[in-house]
Amino acid sequence: MMKLLTFIAGVSVVAALDNGLARTPPMGWLSWERFRCNLDCKNDPDNCISENLYMRMADIIAAEGYKDAGYQYVCVDDCWLAKSRDSNGRLQPDPDRFPHGMKALADYVHSKGLKFGIYEDVGSETCARYPGSRGHYQTDALTFAEWGIDLLKFDGCNIKPEDFAEGYSEMGFYLNKTGRPILYSCEWAIGDIMHGRKANYTAVMEICNTCRNAIDLNDQWESIVRIFNVYAKDVGNFSKIAGPGGWNDPDELVIGDFSLSPDQERTQMALWSMWAAPLLMSVDLRNIRPESKNLLLNKGLIAVNQDPLGVPGSVRMTIDQFSIWTRPVIPKGSVATVFFNQQTGGTPRNISVPMYLLVDGTASHYLITDTFTGSKLARLAYLQSLTVRVNPTGVAMVKMTPA
């Protein structure tokens, strides 16, 4: 949230209003993990980074239930740019892959009732060596506003880490100054971490709507586990800083891609929902598996992710190889709970935990609902135990509501 803010070009301290966005975690689609920097539109026209790809994804999101479920942002990532700015110093898209320009693409996405996100970098160049925003923050912010951009993913390549604070703050200021509501997604914290510096989550959340705090996610179970460990350790207490207007971002959802098992896909969706993380799909929606699509559209999981209390979940306890996470949700006194079986082999296992260790209130009884199915599982007294059965690398997820 741009509540305070900061210095511009190291000269003065100015005030900028809260931008009012991301009151719940943003939901949408982002091209990076699935399509990367595919520039080969001659031989692979359906999968290259081009206006055609984003238009087709917008069509599907609008027509096949994703928009109705809450997914609203269609986001471009790196490699959309031409190799140089125009004669006026403004960014321009690659003319062959985006022949109608970014405003026309934004207008198309908006015509579907969706929002349009774009990518740039706080440094002199993007990670893929296209023109970055450093030295052009004001110009680029105005350009994005004129194009009708709704979200800016601002990467952290090709800049000295000691310049992160100034660069991210300056772009935040100029985005706010345009008067257009542009959700600001920052990679400031992970940039600091990757350079061996301590992330200042308080500073980041004062100007950014989302805060990347883990390295890029790959379509691999090991990558999910690596990010899980970041959130389990919670170095810097970042989970306590996030809330409406500013969310921690563990990176994209790879549900529906190639490597995860059905249980592992359920685990990613459950954990991201518990963490109040942005839900940004990175999958080819044209040929997604039905079970993966149903998981991405699951009403119970999305309700937890979008819970208006906005309190991210945290590790409640660890028992053997089970990691148990809880998150307070509405109605008052209710708790969402995930039981994550970290075993990578073997057979499904049961785990039993007394209710009084899982809830913060002292209601006499709780109704237990399966988050995935909506089924009512039990009515348990405060001193009774909840027992669930969980597959290896899988989860059980329930909502406990005072009876």
Both 334 and 247 in one domain: the answer is: no
What is the per-residue pLDDT for 6? 37
Do residues 268 and 320 share a domain? Answer: no
Query: Would residue 350 count as lying in a domain?
Result: yes
Are residues 298 and 320 located together in one domain of the fold?
no
Q: Exactly one of 107, 216, 234, 263 is catalytic; name it.
A: 216
220 and 280 share one domain: yes
Check if the beta carbon of residue 297 is closer than 8 Å to that of residue 65: yes
Nearest to 141, CA basis, from 282, 280, 2: 2
Residue at a domain's end among 305, 340, 365? 305
Judge if 59 and 81 occupy the same domain. yes
Residues of the chain with confidence (pLDDT) below 50: 1-17
Largest CA distance in the chain: 72
At 354, which CATH number? 2.60.40.1180
- One domain, residues 378 and 257: no
Q: Does 391 fall in a domain? A: yes
Same domain? 321 vs 388: yes
Range of the domain at 351: 314-402
**Using one digit for the tens of pLDDT, what is the confidence trace for 205-261?**
999 999 999 999 999 999 999 999 999 999 999 999 999 999 999 999 999 999 999
- DSSP letter at 243? B
CB 91 within 8 A of CB 144: no
pLDDT of residue 18: 64
What is the per-residue pLDDT for 361? Answer: 82
pLDDT (0 to 100) of residue 92: 98
Instruction: Indicate if 216 belongs to the active site.
Output: yes
Instruction: Check residue 275 and report its DSSP letter.
Output: T
Q: Can you tell me the distance from the alpha carbon of 303 to that of 14, in angstroms, rounded to the nearest whole number?
A: 37
Interacting residues of 173 by C-beta distance below 8 A, sequence separation 6+: 2, 5, 6, 8, 14, 16, 207
Q: Are residues 201 and 292 in the same domain?
A: yes
N- to C-terminal Cα separation, the chain: 37
Distance, CA of 395 to CA of 338 (rounded, Å): 6
- Identify which of 215, 153, 155 has the alpha carbon closest to the alpha carbon of residue 188: 155
Cβ atoms of 8 and 14 within 8 Å: the answer is yes
**What is the value of pTM for the model shown?**
0.94
Q: Does 57 share its domain with 131?
A: yes
Question: Which one of 281, 305, 329 terminates a domain?
Answer: 305
CB of 211 closer than 8 Å to CB of 26: no
Domain end, chosen from 305, 339, 361, is at 305
Q: Which of 78, 150, 155, 251 is catalytic?
A: 155
